[in-house]
C-alpha cells in the first residue's frame, strides 16, 4: 500500500498498513509547506507543516519528509485507519508571496477495512 | 472557537442574479481568504485580506467582488456569473497573512455554488 516518489491521483491501502502520499513542487524559492486533508463535504484541514530548513517533521501518526534537491514532499501515515480516507493536498508558500499558498494536485486515499 | 463558518451551504443562482456569500471567524485572525475549488481539483486562491484591506487579488473577474466589513467577517458579492463559475467557494482565516512563519489557515466548509 505504499507509493514512493511518484504522485498518484488515487491510493488504496488496507487498514493498518502505512501510506505514503507524494507531492512535487515547482518553485525552488518555496520555504514553507503544508499538508491538508479534505474529507467529503468539508474544507481542507491542516495536518502538518514543515519549513525549508528542515527535512523531516513528525506528528501523531504522520510524518512529512522534504527533499529540496528534487523539490519533493511526502506525507507518511502510519497504521492507516478508515477515518483517514480523504483527499490530501500539499501546499507551498514563499516569503515573497505573503498569504499566497499554491496547492498541488490532490491524492484521494481510500482505506479498505 | 476554532471554527470558520460559511453561509449559505448551497446556492443556486441565475446568470442575472446578485447574491452574496458570507464567512465569519471569531479566532481573532487578521487574515482572511477566498478560494475557488472545482470538483476533484485543488483550491485556487482568489483574494487575501490582511487587516481588513485587500492585499492579494489573483486576477479575479470583476463579477466577483470581495468585501471585509470588519475583522471577523468576509463577504463575496456575486453578479452576472457564468455557468463555469459553478464551484465550491471556500473561506479561510489565519493569524497573519505573512508566510515564512507557522501560519495555519483554518478553512470553512464552503458554499456549493451552481450557476444556471
Of A106, A87, A74, A109, which is closest to residue A37 (Cα–Cα)? A87
Chain A positions touching B40 (Cβ under 8 A) are 106
Residue of chain A whose Cα is closest to the Cα of B9? A41
**Residues whose CB falls within 8 Å of the CB of residue A25, separated by 6 or more in sequence, listed in order:** A33, A71, A72, A73, A90, A92, A102, A104
What's the residue count for chain A? Answer: 113
pLDDT value for A101: 84
pLDDT value for A109: 97
pLDDT over 50 at B96, yes or no: yes
pLDDT over 80 at B98, yes or no: no
Q: Strand A56-58: give its sheet, edge to edge.
A: A19-24, A72-77, A62-67, A56-58
Chain B positions touching A45 (Cβ under 8 A) are 107
**Residues whose CB falls within 8 Å of the CB of residue A76, separated by 6 or more in sequence, listed in order:** A18, A19, A20, A21, A62, A63, A64, A65
What number is the average pLDDT over the span A19-36? 91
Chain A positions touching B102 (Cβ under 8 A) are 49
Q: Note which residues in 58-97 of chain A have CB less than 8 A from chain B.
A: 89, 93-95, 97
Compute the distance between CA of residue B48 and CA of residue B17 in angstroms, rounded to an integer.
25
pLDDT over 50 at B56, yes or no: yes
pLDDT tens-digit map of A77-104: 999 999 999 999 999 987 666 668 889 9
Task: Report the percentage of chain A scoring pLDDT > 70.
Answer: 90
Amino acid at each position: 500500500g505504499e507509493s514512493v516518489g511518484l504522485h498518484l491521483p488515487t491510493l488504496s491501502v488496507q487498514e493498518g498498513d502505512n501510506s505514503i502520499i507524494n507531492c512535487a513542487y515547482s518553485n525552488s524559492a518555496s520555504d514553507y509547506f503544508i499538508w491538508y486533508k479534505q474529507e467529503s463535504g468539508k474544507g481542507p484541514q491542516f495536518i502538518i507543516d514543515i519549513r525549508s530548513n528542515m527535512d523531516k517533521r513528525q506528528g501523531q501518526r504522520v510524518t512529512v519528509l522534504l527533499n529540496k534537491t528534487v523539490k519533493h514532499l511526502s506525507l507518511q501515515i502510519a497504521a492507516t485507519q478508515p477515518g483517514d480516507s480523504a483527499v490530501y493536498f500539499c501546499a507551498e508558500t514563499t516569503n515573497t508571496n505573503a498569504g499566497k499558498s499554491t496547492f498541488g494536485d490532490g491524492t484521494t486515499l481510500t482505506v479498505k477495512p | 472557537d476554532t471554527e470558520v463558518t460559511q453561509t449559505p451551504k448551497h446556492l443556486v443562482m441565475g446568470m442575472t442574479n446578485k447574491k452574496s456569500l458570507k464567512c465569519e471567524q471569531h479566532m481573532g485572525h487578521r487574515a482572511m481568504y477566498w478560494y475557488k475549488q472545482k470538483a476533484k481539483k485543488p483550491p485556487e486562491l482568489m483574494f487575501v485580506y490582511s487587516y481588513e484591506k485587500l492585499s492579494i487579488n489573483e486576477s479575479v473577474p470583476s463579477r466577483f467582488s470581495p468585501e471585509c466589513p470588519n475583522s471577523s467577517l468576509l463577504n463575496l458579492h456575486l453578479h452576472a456569473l457564468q455557468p463555469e463559475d459553478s464551484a465550491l467557494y471556500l473561506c479561510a482565516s489565519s493569524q497573519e497573512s505573512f508566510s515564512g512563519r507557522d501560519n495555519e489557515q483554518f478553512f470553512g466548509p464552503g458554499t456549493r455554488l451552481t450557476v444556471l
